Structure 1
């Protein structure tokens, strides 16, 4: 299920609907309409997986069958997720996806109530993030991992530095344009970052990362293409045939490859966790870190604050007899 499930796909320049197209759009099921309103690709994928799992479990084949769902169906599905040994966070996310759909259906008067409301969900397993932050030594090793002077190595070093020094999400890095790397505010170069929910934030560019990005742009030759993607695939790039941005999956594989070669295998989100943890460990204000990360809630930022759990800060070492 995706926005491509819409029965009519019109180019942005189209101004008029034919009578047939009008009636097709009028008949779009609300379930498809709800899904098409989800902008974030990661949220789309997670919600699609949750919905497909629920439909498979209940045997739903048509959108109108959601009207027949009761609390008993939801509870049975939740218990089945537990039986399949999915972790508590995953179960909570899947129930949240289904609840979002039913809230939309309620708003449209397609159902009378949200059957997910009141269903007991697995408890939060704690406020410490599960994504591991790597050590300073490992971070330095990762930055030095691309050894050659090829265009690919210059690009990869620039990507790793941008992630480690600015705590970007993969999707945010993919959206960066060349001009987003050249914003100046109060005499300081900033990155213009398009975050979740269409929110834009400006992050001061770290000099170490800035130098590596400039090296990459000089080698790639697309530094003057201000409206073009900043980080691009390498093959045939010098010939100007590739203008699309690198994908989130490519970034994940890139981080995975270099970290595995160094003896620790991590995903790209670990670099975001590392940057956040490092900033907090060096006494960055947590409210500033929240803004830096683009978090809507400061409780999410606290996941990366490990200062209270450091053994050296324990009252144990304050005891003196």
Structure 2
């Protein structure tokens, strides 16, 4: 259904919505593809019901579209995202006067499952970082780079896309801060600690110069051919590290972000400070980490309090 040919009016609307997301909402490539895939799915479903233009869309169309996906076993979090995308699409279509009324205005999204993020224990992190330091000690550029990337991911709580997008001049070594361009092209300044600073300095001195080519530009982290490192390469490095660790359910670079946030809160950091560091637009997003920290607090209380 999602790959079927759409009626011309639907196809034009999809293209227009894509231009809007790119030009006005500054969405990332990954987010843009997800949004357009969701809308294509919706319009493909509407076309399968015989509709050929946007004014024919009604609330029931959206509900049946989501209902069919729910029966197919699509997760509630994905359904919630697709519901939100559908509302964004009809809001845009109203603004563009492609429809006279908003059929998705009363569309209710299913509540997404609340799950606690995977977090590495301090001992696990120490083992992981020690293994990186040992691998980098030989001086080969890729192990030196990998150590710097992982140290920086954990030290600063960066998203993997933010890490890959860093340029050399985004670093302020004197203040040990990073200039980060996050979601929606929002800029923030993020601190990092001494171990990360040493690892990054090592990469800049004896790793990056070996891999840098004329086409490398200002990219901080490079691949073996001198191109800017991409998210897939970073994910592969972290995946291998976690598999070698062996005793964690954490997966992917986001687990380092989760760990940084949780350990900051465990250490007494203010929730709003953690929000700023992570680049969350809403404090509610940051609050999921308090659940992890509160669970640890409860365990400590039960172990230490005489009347626990």
Q: Which residue of 1 aligns with 2:166?
A: 176
Q: Residue 294 of structure 1: which of 263, 268, 279 is its match? A: 279
Q: Residue 206 of structure 1: which of 172, 193, 200 is its match? A: 193
Segments of 5+ residues of structure 2 without an aligned counterpart are 1-10, 22-26
Query: Structure 2 vs 1, CA of residues 165 and 215 (structure 1 numbering), >3 Å: closer, same or farther?
Result: same
Q: Which residue of 2 aligns with 1:49?
A: 37
1:278 aligns with 2:263: yes
Q: Distance in 1 between matches of 2:39 and 2:65?
A: 11
Q: Which residue of 1 aligns with 2:101?
A: 113
Q: Residue 309 of structure 1: which of 291, 295, 304 is its match? A: 295
SS in 1 for 2:179: strand
TM-score (norm 2): 0.83
Q: Which residue of 2 aligns with 1:156?
A: 146
Structure 1 residue 257: Cα displacement: 1.4
- 1:261-313, CA deviations, whole angstroms, 9 ceiling, x for partnerless residues? 22146111111111001100111010111111111110100011123223325
SS in 2 for 1:304: helix
Count of paired positions: 282
Superposition RMSD in Å: 2.8
61-70 vs 213-222, which moves further:
61-70
Q: Distance in 1 between matches of 2:165 and 2:173?
A: 15
Q: Distance in 2 between matches of 1:122 and 1:134?
A: 30
Query: Structure 2 vs 1, CA of residues 261 and 62 (structure 1 numbering), >3 Å: closer, same or farther?
Result: farther
Segments of 5+ residues of structure 1 without an aligned counterpart are 1-27, 236-241
TM-score (norm 1): 0.79
Q: Residue 124 of structure 2: which of 113, 138, 150 is its match? A: 138
SS in 1 for 2:91: helix
1:90 aligns with 2:73: no
SS in 2 for 1:201: strand
